[in-house]
Structure 1
């Protein structure tokens, strides 16, 4: 396979194989290989198909391997006419398809994911439940099985895309019914609401993760990878296609199903990072968390002016020295001293960096992100604790 990959790569660089670009500024894609699965990406032209056919025939003759036409298909864009589709299919000896099936277990589709595409996840979960006798398990045993077995089945698919809300609700319903011993024939009373059960143990729940929380946390992790793994192919494709900067920020509201899924974890991701200023040119003074765990704007009431919205940390450190007169709102002396003690370099070639606020080493942490997701419950719990201590 490595020989075939090198052949396609060289042919693409010489212009014999014309790949497809991911957007105007995106990289040119020619092929994707994984084990014995091959995915060729190119323009729908007669010359392209003739060249690919010759390369595959040459590879088969030298390696002794053979292509299975019944398992090989061609997927065309909507811009390719029907006569051209038939001609190209005849050249390759493959059939045309509107659905490429699954790749590594994930459905490949250019359309927005719908419920029918992911019902197989529910079938897998139900099949796992068929061999379990609910009445012989205690609540603790059912909780352990939900966390270790049932949750692991959909978790794999949640790592790459946001599942439809109906699928997420169905996953929660299956786990909820199993926890309380309900089935199709016998409905039992649910003694505690699901929102309380799915809280982390530190907040009084059973630690059973809701499907929506688990999926949103996975999308927040993809946001972290999008802004930290600069050398990955998928990263370059998305950033160049949708003109996403290397600085963590909000994502475009319209795009492919993948970018739309990642965007659903963007708010959670932005709440979990904290900036470390070096030159201060990439950090918003009011809107980014850099001196506190929350943006300084959260301490104010009312909207900021346009000038304050555009104010950078570097702007209040002219010549590397803090100038409090450039701040429009008064701060406490303690906070001013903290800002003043922030080292800002105007001479060294340094760039601002960010880290995950909830982990000791600054890397993304799923556990801390789960706590961040239930932030409202944490504040409520802290307030109750304070009242109890005061009494």
Structure 2
């Protein structure tokens, strides 16, 4: 995949494939690699799409690595969570018929609840969508009888209580989403991490990595607005711990 990565960088550097841009001082990502998945960022010009497709075809011919067209698609942000919802529905429809309730509980904890996590880690998902996802999980938990949903004897909120409080310990998606939002705010404003995502967000919405310069405009993305709203919550629940005698309060990165 090193050849693919270098080729995509070269394609973007030569402007044969125009990068995805937001503002002039933002870092334009060309692609991301995770396990056996590749996400490529580009604008919607015909020349960029044409050159990108030609490059992928050339890569396939040279490497003999075939691109699975059935698993490849063009995604806009508004379609991503809908895709995850369809995945949950597809898994639920056939798995529920062959599993008892204990097995379905295990599947929810370790598989179904994890499907939307990557989306929740990146964007602020509307509460209505989270409620829809949890409704799908509840339907799967209780199962079906003769093609219709079984009665839900206990509310989903009660089921997601910790086991010590009488629940089954399934983590509610709304709490997962809130925790991930706080983590994003901590990563950008306090952790001083130089991950690609953190550098991109700082360069787009901040000046010289200063929290005081954080953008508060109406045209900012929903993801940034959600992070910005949590700044005071992170500040109120954070405190500094001094190190050993070698600490220097003037020069150390607090």
Could you say which residue in structure 2 is the equivalent of 1:124? 91
Residue number among 148, 155, 173 corresponding to 2:135 in the alignment: 173
Structure 1 distance, partners of 2:194, 2:88, is: 32
- Contact persistence 2:9–2:30 (CA under 8 A): yes
Could you say which residue in structure 2 is the equivalent of 1:276? 240
Question: How much is the aligned-residue C-alpha RMSD, in angstroms?
Answer: 4.9
C-alpha spacing 1:159/1:11, structure 2 compared with 1 (3 Å)? closer
Structure 2 matches for 1:44-63, cutoff 5 A?
44=45, 63=62
- Contact persistence 1:22–1:237 (CA under 8 A): no
C-alpha spacing 1:272/1:199, structure 2 compared with 1 (3 Å)? farther
Structure 2 matches for 1:329-344, cutoff 5 A?
none
Structure 2 matches for 1:145-160, cutoff 5 A?
146-160=108-122
- Contact persistence 1:158–1:218 (CA under 8 A): yes
Structure 2 distance, partners of 1:181, 1:55, is: 47
Structure 2 distance, partners of 1:53, 1:109, is: 18
Aligned residues: 245
Higher CA-based Rg: 1
Could you say which residue in structure 2 is the equivalent of 1:231? 194
Shift in Å, 1:274 = 1.3
Structure 2 alignment gaps of length 5 or more: none
Residue number among 177, 188, 203 corresponding to 1:240 in the alignment: 203
Q: Secondary structure at the match of 2:40?
A: strand
- Contact persistence 1:143–1:179 (CA under 8 A): yes
* TM-score, structure 1 as length reference: 0.45
Q: Secondary structure at the match of 1:151?
A: helix
C-alpha spacing 1:217/1:60, structure 2 compared with 1 (3 Å)? closer
Residue number among 256, 260, 266 corresponding to 2:230 in the alignment: 266
Structure number with greater CO (CA < 8 Å, separation at least 6) is: 2
Structure 2 distance, partners of 1:213, 1:27, is: 31
Structure 1 alignment gaps of length 5 or more: 73-99, 103-107, 279-342, 353-391
Could you say which residue in structure 2 is the equivalent of 1:221? 183
Instruction: Give 1 or 2: higher helix fraction.
Output: 2
Structure 2 distance, partners of 1:247, 1:31, is: 28
Shift in Å, 1:153 = 4.0
